[in-house]
Structure 1
Amino acid sequence: MLNWQLALSVVAGATVGLGLFLLVREALPATPALGPALRRLHPPVTVGTARSSVSAGGELDWLTGVARWLRPPHRQLALIGRTPEQYALSLVLSGLIGLAAPIIATTLVYVAGHRPPVVVPAVAGLGLGLLAMLVAHRDVLSRAATARREFSAAVCTYLDLVALQLSAAHGPVQALERAAAVCDGWVFERIREALRLAQLQMHSPWDELRDLAEKIGVPELGDVGAIMQSSGTEGAQVHDTLRGRADSLRDQIRTDNLARAEAVTSRLDIPGSLLVFVLIGFVIYPFLARI
């Protein structure tokens, strides 16, 4: 006769062991591969082949299938510097942790001498697993939204710097490169990387900036490329255009921040209203108690 307590303990141990194995595997530093690095410097023409270059070693093929099934937000992941495979792995690990937590708790309760029904850890594990996956997905979206606001604010500075470089009698390409080299930070590092990639592939830098803007979903960076293209191909004077776009972008960011602050303030009215009802209850209760 099958002992369901023993089977439950074996399943719980196997689940925890798998989760620990995946965590240790991701924590250990991997040996850098030269082939994928060279392919990233010279990406193929097709988008599907470029995405499959991440798993060229064959080690993450199963994650590629899981990521394709999960339909990850590619723009948000590209903005925060994560691959679809990493996104799928984070969701899988979160689901496994949520699934294993009730099983471990039930096992500890069983060791203590109590025998809860099997349906409790099963339903709780499924619910916590789905909740953990949802939290991991929302965390990616929240980080991407924060990174997008930071990127837009940095583009304002980049517009002003490019305008200053143009006023110093530098060419369009040189103005883009010198302006990107002035500041530090991950935003300017992404811009410098795009400009280096354009130089290595002998592309125009404004086309590379527009491709990066389309990839990460930041249209403000694409505006820089569109403005500088008119300067590089037609010789137009775009100093005032860059300054005007920077001012309009600052006004837009200021308006968005005010709208977000008003939304947060409106949500604070709900606990304030509940607190008023609680105080009214404390005031009315003594009179009701005397009746």
Structure 2
Amino acid sequence: MTPTWIGISAGLGAGFGLAVFLAVHELRPASPSLGPALARLQPPSGAGDAVPGRSVAIGRLADRMRRVIPATDLRLLGRTSEEFVTSLIVAGLIGLAVPSVLLGLLTLMGRSFGTGVPVGAAVGFAALLVLIVYRDVGHKAAFARRECRRAVCTFIDLVALQRAAGRGTEESLIRAASKGSGWVFARIRQTLLRAELSVSAPWDGLKQLGTDLGVPELGDLGDIMQAAGVTGAQVYRTLRARATSLRAQIRTDELAHAELRTSQLEIPGALLLVVLMLLALYPFAARLLAAPAVN
């Protein structure tokens, strides 16, 4: 074997060994990071508060756009105002670039455009993309809020069962939160853990979480459990009644949403019927227009 092939074989072997080492290193469980864990346990802050490593310019722009930024929806989705503003800026830049590139290619192919067409196309497409990104946050937040309400209904039932088993107020909340899965129960567990570490009432944390997420049902649960924790009231029947009413409300909202989707499905059918009618009437209209006038 020549020295060249020996060098190539050695290089390939070293590359394969490096790949195996990196794969094993990535698959090995990493030690938890203390910084992000402590950040998750801190009380939630406003959408425009400073975060480590953010751009100063983006932060200032987010502070100026505080009135138009959907802060509640962003907190529900777990996003910051800086990320939202960045997505709007990126969408606007893409909207400005795409028509400019397309019109530039058409110009190279021999087509000529005035000054107003490229500017209008770029600005219009950029505004359209920004609007799509802005409305997408609202749609995702509405879906997440419906999911959150269903999870809260299950959480209320679990708390009622814990109270029926003779558990205390705080213990009922903690045990009920540990039985569920999903991002809603994860946030409830974080809220209860934060309240335990800060030696504060858990129902206050639930009410604040309901306000932050725009889910008033969590605030109602906090009020009910506050009555149980402060005055020692028997709240089992109240919890079951609240869960039943919330379940009925969710069912009504889902039926209304299904009816809206069903009505929206009729629009393509109506448009298709109009197109078919135009295709059927086109030959007769063409003959009438082509027929010579009779004096």
Is the shorter-chain TM-score for this pair beyond 0.5, marking a shared fold? Answer: yes
In structure 1, what is the equivalent of residue 291 of structure 2? none
TM-score after normalising by structure 2: 0.77
* 2:257 is the counterpart of 1:260: yes
Distance verdict in 2 for CA 1:33–1:251, change over 3 Å: same
- Pair 95,288 (structure 1): closer, same or farther in 2 beyond 3 Å: closer
Distance 1:288 1:82 in 2: 57
Is 1:134 the counterpart of 2:131 in the alignment? yes
**Is 274-283 or 133-142 further displaced after alignment?**
274-283
Q: How far, CA to CA, are the matches of 2:287 and 2:135 in structure 1?
A: 51
Q: Which of the two has higher C-alpha Rg?
A: 2
Is the counterpart of residue 163 in structure 1 residue 163 in structure 2?
A: no
Deviations 1:141-167 (A, max 9, x none): 000000000000001100111111111
- Cα contact 2:77–2:144 (8 A) shared by 1: yes
Q: Distance in 1 between matches of 2:199 and 2:240?
A: 28
Residues 78 and 110 of structure 1: CA distance in aligned 2, closer, same or farther (over 3 Å): same
Q: 2: CA distance between counterparts of 1:234 and 1:116? A: 76
Alignment of 1:65-104 (within 5 A): 65-70=60-65, 71-104=68-101
**Count of residue pairs brought into register by the alignment:** 254
Residue of structure 2 equivalent to 1:19: none
User: Aligned AA for 2:236?
Assistant: H
Superposition pairs of residues 196-211 of structure 1, within 5 angstroms: 196-211=193-208
Rate the CA distance shift 1:136–1:289 in 2: closer, same or farther, 3 A: closer
CA, structure 1 residues 289+53, in 2 after alignment: closer, same or farther (shift >3 Å)? Answer: closer
Indicate the residue corresponding to 1:106 in structure 2: 103
Which range moves more in the overlay, 114-123 or 190-199?
114-123
CA distance in 2 between counterparts of 1:279 and 1:125 reads: 35
Question: Of the candidates 266, 269, 278, which is equivalent to residue 269 of structure 1?
Answer: 266
* TM-score scaled by length of structure 1: 0.78
Paired residue for 1:121? 118
Unaligned runs of 5+ in 1: 1-31
CA–CA distance in structure 2, aligned partners of residues 104 and 284 of structure 1: 40
Tell me the residue number matched to 2:14: none
Shift of 1:136: 0.5
CA deviation profile, 1:242-272 (whole Å, cap 9, x unmatched): 1111111111011111111112222333333
Query: 1:203 Cα deviation (Å)?
Result: 1.0
CA RMSD after TM alignment: 2.6
The question of whether the paired residues in 1 share the 8 Å contact of 2:192 and 2:205 is answered with: yes
